[in-house]
Amino acid sequence: MRLKKQMDVLCIGATLVDIPLYPVSRELFDNESYPLDQIAMTIGGDAVNEATIISRLGKKTALVSMIGKDAVGDFILHHCRENGIDTTGVKQKDGVDTSINIGMVTADGERTFITNRNGSLWKMTLEDVDLSVIKGAKILSFGSIFNNASLDAVALKAIFQKGKEEGMIICTDMIKPRFGEKLADIAEALSYVDYFFPNFDEACLITDETDLYKVADRIMETGVGHVIIKIGTRGCYIRSQDGTEMIVPVLQGVKAVDTIGAGDNFAAGFITGLVEGKSLRECGEYANVTAVISIQSIGATTGVQRIEQ
């Protein structure tokens, strides 16, 4: 298969539907009935979130993922058409349930997910990634290491190797390890990565370090080109192989309504900056602002709608 047109960014990884429940208190199960202000189906999954936001920021995007042949999968494909996302690399399979995540969001914006372990998120393997599609784009962004449980370090290496063979810039985020994986388990795959976007807690888990600078030291030892660590209300910390390092502060005084997808929006903003040739600091600023806009609305892709924001 070939992409329909020259792409700026090819996003690979999770594609699903989120159903955010807001606001939920921790006393939820003490009530027989629990009315909420909002329940709605929204697009979710790191790869489609990134593709959506990058597209809305004016760049040409394509998606490589696996979903089911069901109503939820059709909902996702409709969303992609509406947002100008090339779905040549999206495999829709019989007998697979497109994953749905229930996002329980507290009044202060914190969240946890209820997921379907038998859904497409858990069943997507390297066989569902058409490596022939990995060409014709400037940047390859793998949504999140550890998110698709069956895309292990061997699969990551194959995907990143193919991207490098095609001369692409490789970016990836991560989630908390599902099975206790450590940095050594993904070190070889990370050696192909140009920009890595963990948050601080995730980075601490895989490195067994708790100091920001030691965490960065450990990650840089893998050969990754740049690590961009999200450090919450402080912004982001950037370290490069050439010794460049900086903290890029985030806007203050913004009330978080929902943090679902904030990391995906951050990555989308940073990657958009890369496409535009911005400096590292400018990419960090663009990423921070994109994330800040996203957390002021319910759902991962409802906040950022257009570049003018």
The whole-angstrom separation of Cα 234 and Cα 222 is: 25
- The two beta strands, 85-93 and 16-22, are unpaired
pLDDT of residue 161: 97
The owner of tokens 């949504």 is: 143
pLDDT of residue 5: 58
The whole-angstrom separation of Cα 70 and Cα 45 is: 17
Instruction: Work out whether the CA dihedral 75, 150, 179, 213 comes out positive or negative.
Output: negative
Q: How far is CA 69 from CA 9, 74, 94, 183, in A?
A: 25, 7, 5, 36
Q: How far is CA 122 from CA 6, 96, 135, 149, 212, in A?
A: 30, 10, 26, 5, 31
Please name which of 41, 42, 45 lies closest in space to residue 15, comparing C-alpha atoms.
45
**What pTM, to 2 d.p., does this model score?**
0.93
User: In 3-state terms, what secondary structure has residue 138?
Assistant: strand
pLDDT tens per residue across all 309 residues of the chain: 666 658 999 999 999 999 888 888 877 778 888 888 778 888 999 999 999 999 999 999 999 999 999 999 999 999 999 999 999 999 999 999 999 999 887 877 677 888 888 999 999 999 999 998 898 899 999 999 999 999 999 999 999 999 999 999 999 999 999 999 999 999 999 999 999 999 999 999 999 999 999 999 999 999 999 999 999 999 999 999 999 999 999 888 788 777 778 999 999 999 999 999 999 999 999 999 999 999 888 788 988 999 888
Q: Concatenated DSSP letters for 40-84? A: --EEESHHHHHHHHHHHTT--EEEEEEEESSHHHHHHHHHHHHTT
